[in-house]
Structure 1
Amino acid sequence: MGFFPFTYNPDHSVIVNANTEDYLKENKQVAETIETWAWIYHGLHDAIPTTMENLWSGHQFPFRESWEELQISYTLCHFGLYKQAMCSLRSVLELGLLSVYYNINDLGHETVKKWLASRDSTDANTPYFSSVWKILISHPNVEKFQDIIDIKKRVMNLSYLHNYIHTKGQKFSNQLGLLKSNSQTFEIKGFENWLAGFKEIVLLIVTLHILKYPTSMIDYDYSLKFGIDVPSFPHMRQSNLWRLKENFPPDFIMALQKISDNDDNVKDFKNWIDNHEDMSEEDLEKQIVDMDRREIVRQGFESYLRNQFALYRADTFEALIPSVQERVKKLEFWAKENNHYEDKFPDLNRSER
């Protein structure tokens, strides 16, 4: 390779990455905060329903892209590219808003088409926030929440992220308004700025999705009815809902719960769930075995076994709980009989060890 006159380079990123790791190890509460809020955002996958009508339509694309952009933003932050991480956060916000905007009337499979296809026309452009808000506030639950908490103002307060995109002076430059070298360096201020924006965006986008899909506020263990194969109706996994309730501001939780409890669709949904037959232990075990067999076919039994150790935090086979031991033994016999025992991606899995 040639000698490039670059001061921002991969070697510096590696150093900053190590510094960031040290910072997170020394400040475990910060690391736990990022983990918790990331899981809350990830949980929106369950809130956006998939039906036969919208299957493969791309109606979930804005949220999926938003989730990927969030991961990229964190990665950029980890490597000391704070300005770029903040620019990426802006994309998280815009895409998260579009996820609700396009699906507000349950017609996302239709309304998203032109934008999704990146057509070269005005009506296919990403809409401005003013247009997005007119659609969002038309939903009765968003209107009710807005009467209690000014969520519009909080979204607009995030407009400072534009300043990173357009580099509004030194404060919003790669220097972050600090006296620092002209390369990537670990900066607590840069990391804290990112964390504040990250949490606020997760709070607002998750809130708007819940207002659109208020059944997400139902605190229920759906595995009792459906095992590990919960249908794609709008909901939030119980563990994720608990995270949300423990970390969102109390006024947000109170407003969301009140709106959800008074929603007619939520009442009908609760009645349907209550009257749905519980799943038997035999049917649940069959579900798990069927899913595990699919994993073994894709990856091989050796890879599957490592995943089981990680899932149950066990170092050895004997450390697995008895019921899992029994299942694994049966699946090992099945894998050998059907030529699915060996790891099918040895090079990839070796690099992950």
Structure 2
Amino acid sequence: MVDLGPLIYEPSKSIDVQESTIKSLESNEEIRSKISELGWCYNSISKAIPQTSENFWSGHFFPYMESTEELQISINLAMFGFYKQAFSSLRCSLEVGMLSVYYNINDEGHDVVQDWLKSRDTWEANTPRAKKIWQILSTNKNIKEFDAKFGLQDDFESLSYLHNYVHTKGYKFSNHLGKIKSNWQTFESDIFIKCSETYEKVVKLLIKLHILKYPITMIEYEWGRKTGIDNPYPVLDICEVSRVKNLLSRDELIEIEKISENDSFTQDLFEHIKSLPDMTEEEIEDQMFEMDKSIIEMGQGFLEWEESQLKILAHFNNQDDKKSLMRIERVRVWAEANNMMLSKFERLKST
């Protein structure tokens, strides 16, 4: 054993909490599926942020990625009984997720994000306060109109209690959570449920902000017909749009559809994409094959890549499952012939 001092919050106790949490989730399909669905939907929103030759690797995508990681960390912390820290991560995810839209509000994120991204010791590099963020977000006509009807800022204010966990506002917001309980991490069903409910509110708010900035994301169209998988446009697949729509109310969907129809940039881009010639199935398959090879060569390795592909297939009701499985088999043949079954790290280790 490694002596780490007089620990009360021992790692072994976290394992006990994790086991209790898993048992609870196994008997509560609603919470389990909701957390999963929200995670997949926010993952899809990554496609809403344009990646161009001008902004690729610029850092404009970093706030979204950091937000995603904080969401995942919050669930991990809650699973192990660190609820106060889970709420703090949700607060961080909310703020940095809003920065994803804030810095890209005028499609200049690749420039304006630089001081903050590089943590420079300047006033401009400080993370802006909520008031400043909303001032900038409200300069977007779509966000401003939607906020006036559905109270986006009110939704944000309703999450202000997260600040109390960050700064420990007394016993209620401490590691004791206002409870008379053991002085170590324990499974607390009601607190885990509150974490999951907060997780839902954070994800829904961030998704709404992103799709209002990029309303073309909610248009259901077979984009792959025109671009294959090498799609530079801020659009989602039909199945992804459907999943995101399930998170929104009927009135919200009607308003977003209206915004999309009246947004000139959205309509111009949509018409441009529709005017492109259709790609052949062979062209698309070759595109996908080359991309898969690249991912495997760069580091992932076939076995890890295959596992992730099968996981994605299991979560999306894809009508082309058979075609996807055939593609996986094609990549397997190539990987075996070129010694690409293991990750790049494992391959280098064996040489």
**C-alpha displacement at 1:228, in angstroms?**
2.5
Task: Report the Cα distance in structure 2 between the residues aligned to 1:281 and 1:304, rounded to whole angstroms.
Answer: 23
Runs of 5+ unmatched residues, structure 2 = 315-320
For 1:310 and 1:69, the matched residues in 2 are separated by 22
How do residues 143-292 of structure 1 correspond to structure 2 at under 5 angstroms? Answer: 143-231=144-232, 233-292=233-292
Q: Report the CA distance shift for 1:51/1:28 in structure 2 as closer, same or farther (over 3 A).
A: same
Runs of at least 5 residues in structure 1 that lack an aligned partner in the other structure: 314-319, 349-353
Equivalent residues, number: 339
Corresponding residue SS for 1:247: coil
Q: Which residue of 2 aligns with 1:68?
A: 69
Does the CA-based 8 Å contact 1:76-1:85 persist in structure 2? yes
Over aligned residues, Cα RMSD in angstroms? 2.5
CA contact (8 A) 1:98 1:132 kept: yes
CA contact (8 A) 1:301 1:340 kept: no
Write the deviation string for residues 152-184 of structure 1: whole angstroms up to 9, x where unpaired: 111122111111111112221111122211111
Cα gap change, 1:180 to 1:342, in 2 (>3 Å): same
Structure-2 residue corresponding to 1:97? 98
Q: How much does 1:293 deviate?
A: 2.9
* Matched residue SS, 1:43: helix
TM-score (norm 1): 0.88
The aligned counterpart of 1:351 is none
Q: Which amino acid aligns with 1:53?
A: E
1:334 CA displacement: 4.1
Closer, same or farther: CA 300–181 of 1 in aligned 2, 3 Å: closer
- Aligned mates of 2:341, 2:206 — CA distance in 1: 43
Report the Cα offset of residue 328 of structure 1.
5.9
Structure 1: distance between partners of 2:127 and 2:80: 29
Do the aligned partners of 1:46 and 1:237 also contact (CA within 8 Å) in 2?
no
Looking at structure 2, the residues matched to 174 and 99 of structure 1 have their Cα atoms a distance apart, in angstroms, of 30
Displacement after TM superposition at 1:267 (Å): 1.4
- State how far apart, in whole Å, the 2-side matches of 1:167 and 1:119 are: 28
Structure 2 partner of 1:127: 128
* Identity fraction in percent: 42
What are the residue-to-residue correspondences of 1:72-91 with 2, within 5 Å? 72-91=73-92
Residues 9-45 of structure 1 show CA distances to partners (whole Å, capped at 9, x for unaligned) of 1111111111111111111121100011111111121
Q: Deviation of residue 186 (structure 1)? A: 0.8
Deviation at 1:329? 6.2
Q: Deviations over 1:67-94 (max 9, x none)?
A: 1111111110110100000011000111
- Please report how far the alpha carbon of residue 303 of structure 1 lies from its aligned counterpart in structure 2 after TM superposition: 5.4
Distance 1:310 1:52, change over 3 A: closer
Q: Take 1:27 and 1:329, find their aligned partners in 2: how far apart are those partners?
A: 36
Point out the more displaced range, 221-230 or 86-95.
221-230
